[in-house]
Copies of this chain bind each other. A is one copy, B any other.
Amino acid sequence: MTEQAGDRLGEFGRIERFFRPLAVGVPGAFDLTDDAAVLDIPADQQLVVTTDAMVSGVHFLPQDDPADLAYKLLAVNMSDLAAKGAEPLAYSLVTALPRAVGDEWVGAFAGGLGRAQKEFKVNLLGGDTVATSGPLSLTVTALGLVPFQRMIRRKGARPGDALFVTGHIGDAALGLKLAQGTLTSPVADNDRAYLLSRLRRPSPRLDFVASLRVFGTAALDISDGLIADLRHLALASKVRLHLDARAVPLSAPALRVLLSQPALRSLMLTGGDDYEVAFTAPQEKAEDIAAAAASAGIAVTRIGKVIEGDPGLDVSGTEGMSPDFGIGGWRHF
């Protein structure tokens, strides 16, 4: 095995220096010195497991800031837990790194993970590091806890329920266009920074987890795009969802972009990478949900309802949007 100029530490040295500090919060991670980690699961809780991988050139660009990547990698996995009503417990990490990736990159990546861990109150459990001749890829398996039989499924929405979403939708889709340089109209610096940050540092809605467990009948996080993911929820619950596109919450920076490029509105509803939670809940709980959201400091907006009918999604309020709107994203799994 030859060593590169930027690779003085070696695999063992990198684990010891960069990753071991991330595991100090988990006694059963044994400072990453054993073959496996061990965890206690409280007797009244169940274990929730989710896995998300990110590949350079597919999910991010090689030149992206390693601290941003670290943040997003952890955030998208925490978002899955949050949408299932689970509290984060710990995570394992696999890094497949090309030889050209040096210690400096790994250090910046691990530093970003450390800051994200603190924010999400979760710690590294273990993992594996492998070399690859291909693109850098990163895999997290996140473990969470829910009270017994309280995981919120995609299945469970009932006709009569209202449909809600946290935060704002579509910022990341605009952020991606900014990152790709394909947004033609000028965007103010503040708005640009905001939209890019929504793409690079999504906010898993961990502060809403307890309320979601109280009120939610079905939920998922928006990763493939609002339209596609609402269809997933409708099919899993075997109900018809009605989405009022006019009710979908948009941020002020996004609204300013739409003023000059109104055609981007459909992209915002299909673009994905929002990592907000869409959920259904009994209509009569709407006020309680609003109060819970306010107390958690999270915007929650009613965007539609669950109706009788064939499983699927209806969308109203799409006047002026392209005629094939709502079809995109359907095949994206």
Considering the complex, which residues of chain A in the window 190-226 have a beta carbon less than 8 Å from any beta carbon of chain B?
220-221
Which residues from chain B contact A86 at a C-beta distance below 8 Å? 36
Q: Judging by beta carbons under 8 Å apart, are A35 and B134 in contact? A: no
Q: Judging by beta carbons under 8 Å apart, are A126 and B36 in contact? A: no
Which residues from chain B contact A43 at a C-beta distance below 8 Å? 43
Closest to A333 in B: B12
Selected contact of A134 from candidates B40, B125, B135, B143, CB within 8 Å: B135
A183 within 8 A of B: no
Interface residue stretch chosen among A76-84, A113-121, A293-301, A308-316:
A76-84
Which residues from chain B contact A52 at a C-beta distance below 8 Å? 128
Which residues from chain B contact A134 at a C-beta distance below 8 Å? 55, 132-135, 137
Bin chain A's interface residue count: 35 or more
Cα distance, A54 to B133, chains bound together (Å):
12
Q: Judging by beta carbons under 8 Å apart, are A48 and B36 in contact? A: yes
Cα distance, A34 to B237, chains bound together (Å):
11
Q: Judging by beta carbons under 8 Å apart, are B30 and A153 in contact? A: yes
Given known A-B contacts A52-B128, A53-B96, A127-B51, A137 and B135 have beta carbons under 8 A apart: no
In the assembled complex, the CB of A151 is this many whole angstroms from the nearest CB of chain B, namely 5
CB-defined interface of A1-38 with B at 8 Å, one 1/0 digit per residue? 10000000011100100000000000010100111111
Q: Judging by beta carbons under 8 Å apart, are B135 and A33 in contact? A: no
Q: Judging by beta carbons under 8 Å apart, are B236 and A33 in contact? A: yes
Considering the complex, which residues of chain A in the window 291-333 have a beta carbon less than 8 Å from any beta carbon of chain B?
331, 333
Which residues from chain B contact A143 at a C-beta distance below 8 Å? 47, 49
Considering the complex, which residues of chain A in the window 82-102 have a beta carbon less than 8 Å from any beta carbon of chain B?
83-84, 86, 90, 92, 94, 96
A263 within 8 A of B: no
Selected contact of A47 from candidates B12, B47, B83, B94, CB within 8 Å: B47
A58 within 8 A of B: yes
A139 within 8 A of B: yes
A50 within 8 A of B: yes
Q: Judging by beta carbons under 8 Å apart, are A128 and B53 in contact? A: yes
A59 within 8 A of B: yes
Q: Judging by beta carbons under 8 Å apart, are B126 and A49 in contact? A: yes
A157 within 8 A of B: no
Cα distance, A46 to B208, chains bound together (Å):
28
Closest to A35 in B: B80
Q: Judging by beta carbons under 8 Å apart, are A34 and B236 in contact? A: yes
CB-defined interface of A215-245 with B at 8 Å, one 1/0 digit per residue? 0000011000000000000001000000000
Partner-B contacts on A (CB < 8 A): 1, 10-12, 15, 28, 30, 33-41, 43, 46-55, 57-59, 80-81, 83-84, 86, 90, 92, 94, 96, 125-128, 130-135, 137, 139, 141, 143-144, 146, 151, 153-155, 220-221, 236, 331, 333
